[in-house]
C-alpha cells in the first residue's frame, strides 16, 4: 500500500496584517473539533468541506489534491478547515466515511433480493464494487489512507470498516455469530486486496467481481462442510 508522500498535518500559517499567525492545527496540537462539539452552523460548514473533498476526488487523485484546493472549493478559509480536520488524511478519511454511509442507505431503498446468504452477500459485494467502479479514485484513496499515521484518520477508517462490516453481516442470515464474524473478516481482506490491485492497474474490474464470487462460493462450501 502506498503512503501519501507529503504530510499536511501542519498547514502554513495564515497571514494577517503582514504578520504570520500560527496555523490552527499547530495551536491545537493537531486536535480537531469533534462533530459532537459543533454548533449547527459549524456542522454545516464541516459537511460543506467534506462534500468539496469528495467532489475533488471525482476529478483528481488523492496526491493531486491539496488542502488549499478543498478550501477554495468549499469557500472555507484554510486555517478554519484545520479546526475541523487535523490533516489532509483526516479530512479524506471522513469523506470516505460519509461516502461509505451511502451503501446502507442503498440497501434501505433497495433491499437485498437473494433467497440465501450466498446470493445476498454476492449482491451486496457487487453493489459495493460498482460504487468503486463509478468512483475509481476512492478505491485509491482507501489504499492510501490504510497506512495513515494520523490518529483521527485511523479512527475514521475504523468507523468505515464497521459500517461496511455491518452491511456484509446484514447479508448473512441463519449463521451463528462466530461464523458470520469470521466471514466478514475474510471478506474485508479479499475485497481490500482485489480493489487495491484493480486501482493499481494490476487486474481488471471483471477479475475483481470474479474473485469475490469465488470467495463467496468457497466460504459457503467450507461452512456447509463444517455443519454436515
Q: How far is CA 112 from CA 103, 117, 118, 180, 203, in A?
A: 12, 10, 11, 17, 28
C-alpha cell at 68: 488549499
Comparison of pLDDT for 187 and 31, the residue scoring more:
187
pLDDT score of 32: 84
pLDDT (tens digit per residue) in 41-87? 999 999 999 999 999 999 999 999 999 999 999 999 999 999 999 99
Every domain of the chain and the residues it spans: 14-87, 98-227
CATH code for residues 98-227: 1.10.357.10
Residue ranges of E strands in the chain: 14-16, 19-21
Mean pLDDT across 177-192 = 95
pLDDT digits (tens, 9 = 90+) for 156-171: 999 999 999 999 999 9
Could you name the CATH architecture of 14-87?
Answer: Orthogonal Bundle (1.10)
Query: With 60 as the cut, is the pLDDT of residue 134 above it?
Result: yes
The backbone torsions φ and ψ at residue 12, rounded to the nearest 5 degrees and listed phi first, read: -65, 150
**How far, in Å, CA of 146 to CA of 131, rounded?**
19
Amino acid at each position: 500500500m502506498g503512503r501519501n508522500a507529503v504530510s499536511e498535518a501542519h498547514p502554513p500559517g495564515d497571514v494577517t496584517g503582514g504578520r504570520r499567525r500560527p496555523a490552527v492545527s499547530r495551536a491545537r496540537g493537531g486536535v480537531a473539533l469533534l462533530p459532537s462539539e459543533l454548533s449547527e452552523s459549524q456542522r454545516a460548514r464541516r459537511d460543506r468541506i467534506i462534500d468539496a473533498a469528495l467532489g475533488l476526488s471525482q476529478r483528481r487523485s488523492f496526491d493531486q489534491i491539496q488542502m488549499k484546493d478543498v478550501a477554495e472549493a468549499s469557500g472555507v478559509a484554510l486555517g478554519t478547515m484545520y479546526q475541523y480536520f487535523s490533516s489532509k488524511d483526516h479530512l479524506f478519511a471522513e469523506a470516505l466515511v460519509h461516502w461509505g454511509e451511502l451503501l446502507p442507505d442503498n440497501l434501505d431503498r433497495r433491499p437485498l433480493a437473494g433467497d440465501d446468504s450466498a446470493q445476498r452477500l454476492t449482491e451486496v459485494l457487487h453493489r459495493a464494487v460498482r460504487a468503486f467502479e463509478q468512483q475509481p479514485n476512492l478505491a485509491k484513496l482507501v489504499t492510501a489512507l490504510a497506512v495513515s499515521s494520523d490518529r483521527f484518520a485511523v479512527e475514521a477508517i475504523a468507523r468505515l470498516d464497521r459500517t461496511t462490516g455491518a452491511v456484509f453481516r446484514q447479508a448473512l442470515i441463519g449463521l451463528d455469530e462466530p461464523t458470520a464474524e469470521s466471514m466478514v473478516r475474510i471478506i474485508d481482506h479479499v475485497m481490500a486486496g482485489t480493489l487495491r490491485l484493480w486501482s493499481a492497474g494490476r487486474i481488471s474490474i471483471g477479475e475483481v467481481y470474479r474473485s469475490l464470487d469465488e470467495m463467496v462460493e468457497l466460504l459457503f462450501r467450507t461452512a456447509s462442510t463444517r455443519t454436515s
